[in-house]
Amino acid sequence: MGLELPCPFRDISIKTEKTLKRSLDPVVIKTLSAIELEKDSPLSLARDIFMFSFYTRGMSFVDIALLKKRHVFPGEICYRRHKTDQLMRVGINKEISRILERYKNVPGEYIFPLFPAERDPYAGYRSAYHRIRYSLGKISRVIGLEFPLRLHAARHSWATIAKVNGASVHVIGECLGHTSEKTTRIYLKELDHSALDAVNNQVADFILAVDD
C-alpha cells in the first residue's frame, strides 16, 4: 500500500527515563473519555490522542503523530509501526470513528493537528510530544489522579484490560505488534503486580495479627 514513515525517524527516538509500567483502572479510562473539556483546546487534543491510542490497541505516539489521511480506509486503519516497520491493521470501531470525525477538517495530510504542515516532521513530533505530555499532566489533576498521566499508560491499560477479559497472550501480542510471544509475556509480567501485592498484604496482615 506504500505505507512508509519519513526516513529520518528510523534511527532516532526521544530519550525518556525508564518508568514504571502503569495501567489505569477502567473507571479512570471511562472518566477520562467522558470528562468535559473545552473544544479545540490543548487538553481536549491531549485527551483525544490518549483515547485514540487506547482504542487503537496502544498505538504509539510517533505513529499517531505521523498518521496520515491516506492510512485510513473504509472500516480500518493501516499503517507501519515505526518501531518495527510491521504493517498494522486496526478496525475502526465507533469510538475511533468519533475521534476521527472530530478531526476530519484538519488541513494537510496528517490526521491530527500536532504540528504545522510546513514544519520538519521530526522537529514537529518532538515538540508535540512534550506539549501532549504537559497537557496530560494537567488532565491528571483535573480528574484527581495521584500521579501524572502518561501517553504509554494507554498501551499498558489496553493490554491489561485485554488480559483480564480473557484474551490470549498470542492475541494480545498480535494486537500490540510484538514480534514474539516471549516479548508479550515479559510485557504482561511487568504490568502484573498482583502476586507482589498479595505477598505484601500477607506481611501487613501478619504484623497486625501480632500480639502486643
pLDDT at residue 210 greater than cutoff 80? no
Contact 206, 113 (CB under 8 A): no
61 domain residue, yes or no: yes
Number of domains in the chain: 1
CA separation for the pair 149, 145 (Å, rounded)? 8
Q: Considering only residues 183 and 17, tell me which one the structure prediction assigns the higher pLDDT.
A: 183
43 domain residue, yes or no: yes
User: What is the reported pLDDT for 199?
Assistant: 59
200 domain residue, yes or no: yes
User: What is the reported pLDDT for 204?
Assistant: 74
Residues 6+ apart with CB under 8 A from 63: 79, 81, 82, 88
- Classify the C-alpha dihedral 66-53-10-22 as positive or negative: positive
Q: Which has the minimum average pLDDT: 21-25, 54-58, 141-145, 151-155?
A: 21-25
Contact 139, 47 (CB under 8 A): yes
Q: Considering only residues 102 and 197, tell me which one the structure prediction assigns the higher pLDDT.
A: 102
60 domain residue, yes or no: yes
Segment 16-21 long-range contacts (CB within 8 Å, at least 24 positions apart): 19/150, 19/152, 21/152, 21/156, 21/187, 21/190, 21/191
User: What is the reported pLDDT for 175?
Assistant: 85
Q: Considering only residues 4 and 146, tell me which one the structure prediction assigns the higher pLDDT.
A: 146
5 domain residue, yes or no: no
Q: Which has the minimum average pLDDT: 29-33, 72-76, 174-178, 204-208?
A: 204-208
165 domain residue, yes or no: yes
Q: Considering only residues 153 and 18, tell me which one the structure prediction assigns the higher pLDDT.
A: 153
Q: Write the CATH number for 62.
A: 1.10.443.10
User: Range of 144's domain?
Assistant: 24-207
pLDDT at residue 4 greater than cutoff 70? no
Per-residue pLDDT tens for 74-114? 999 999 998 888 899 999 999 999 999 999 999 999 999 99
Strands 87-91 and 76-80: antiparallel
CA separation for the pair 188, 115 (Å, rounded)? 33
83 domain residue, yes or no: yes
Per-residue CA distances from 211 to 8, 191, 203 (Å): 65, 36, 15
Please give the share of the chain, as a percent, with pLDDT higher than 90: 50
pLDDT at residue 119 greater than cutoff 50? yes
Model pTM score: 0.80
88 domain residue, yes or no: yes
Per-residue pLDDT tens for 165-191? 888 888 888 888 887 888 778 777 776
pLDDT at residue 212 greater than cutoff 50? yes
Phi, psi of 22 (to 5 degrees): -120, 125
Task: Compute the average pLDDT of residues 35-57.
Answer: 95
Task: Compute the average pLDDT of residues 8-34.
Answer: 68
